[in-house]
Amino acid sequence: MLRFKSLGSGSAGNATLVEARSSTEVSRVLIDCGLSISELSSRLGELSLTLTDIDAMFVTHEHTDHVGNARQFALKSKRPIWMSQGTQLATQALGWGLQPTQIQTARDHQVIEVGVLQITPFTVPHDAREPLQVTLTDGTFKLGLATDLGHASAHVIKALQDCHALILESNHDSDLLRMSKYPSFLKSRISGPLGHLSNRESAELLRHLLNPNLRQVVAAHLSERNNTPQLVIDALCPVMGCEPDDLIIAHAEHGSPWITLE
């Protein structure tokens, strides 16, 4: 059984909890730690979990809304933290000072085993040093996670094939972004090929990922200023042929409910 839950999503802080269970073992991985440790502890506490119930963390890239408090997590939990070499170099510049044994190097398409969970990182086009997103499986079900990417490369589309569930970035509405008060350099960065997926680009990616086993899509990393849940529903639901209630939208603060694949 594989289940997952966004604990928070968006530029204010990202964290996703993924859990796999066999008859004898439970494994939990946290993807990113953009929340403060007290906020993370409190959101885990609502699930009757503590930091040490997490077996490992995977940091996708060095932007603050993802790497944020991963260092504090590492110091308190003593758990391994996986990230690319490039993300390590970028975070060293932040003065991390963790034990080298605690930081593990993740590479594109090199499977990471955490108990009964397997994580497969894949490279994404984003303006960070060496950003990786991930798919996770318990051997039966496959979850794909893809936020913080400027466009859907062939590599991304290939990595996300045959998923039973997807957490997919639907960052902004292009018209809202264009009309926003953001400075032009920021608009260019967000909408550029190394920025974030617009609703239309997310819908186009989703079109490539449809498969008979796909059960649940979670739209994530929505811009608070340049998007609305309704615009995301209008873009994604026609592709999925689903009702608006069938699409889950990860909330900036509350994340998503548990989604279980069994």
> Is residue 187 close enough to count as binding Zn ion by CB under 5 A?
no
* Shortest Å distance, C-beta 63 to Zn ion: 4
* Shortest Å distance, C-beta 85 to Zn ion: 17
Determine the 3-state secondary structure of 54 from DSSP.
coil
* Shortest Å distance, C-beta 103 to Zn ion: 20
What amino acid is encoded at 247 in this protein?
Answer: L
* Shortest Å distance, C-beta 11 to Zn ion: 6
Count the residues of the shown chain that bind Zn ion, applying the rule CB under 5 A.
3
* Shortest Å distance, C-beta 252 to Zn ion: 11
Please list the alpha-helical segments (H only) found in 31-126. 37-45, 64-67, 70-77, 85-92
* Shortest Å distance, C-beta 53 to Zn ion: 25
The angle that helices 37-45 and 70-77 make with each other, rounded to 10 degrees, is: 60
* Residue where the block lists tokens 């996300």: 160
Closer Cβ to Zn ion, 45 or 192, answer by number: 192
Closer Cβ to Zn ion, 19 or 65, answer by number: 65
CA distance 137 to 66: 21
Strand arrangement, sheet containing 112-114: 112-114, 117-123, 132-137, 142-146, 165-169, 216-220, 248-249
Selected binder of Zn ion within 21, 63, 71, 79 (CB under 5 A): 63
Selected binder of Zn ion within 65, 130, 173, 201 (CB under 5 A): 65
Q: Are 2 and 18 in contact (CB under 8 A)?
A: yes
State which of positions 154-173 bind Zn ion (CB under 5 A). none
What amino acid is encoded at 31 in this protein?
Answer: I
What DSSP assignment string belongs to 62-76?
Answer: SSHHHHTTHHHHHHH
Closer Cβ to Zn ion, 148 or 173, answer by number: 148
Interior angle at CA 10, CA 6 and CA 12, nearest 5: 110
Closer Cβ to Zn ion, 65 or 130, answer by number: 65
CA distance 41 to 48: 10
Selected binder of Zn ion within 32, 130, 148, 201 (CB under 5 A): 148
Which residues would be at the binding site for Zn ion (CB under 5 A)? Answer: 63, 65, 148
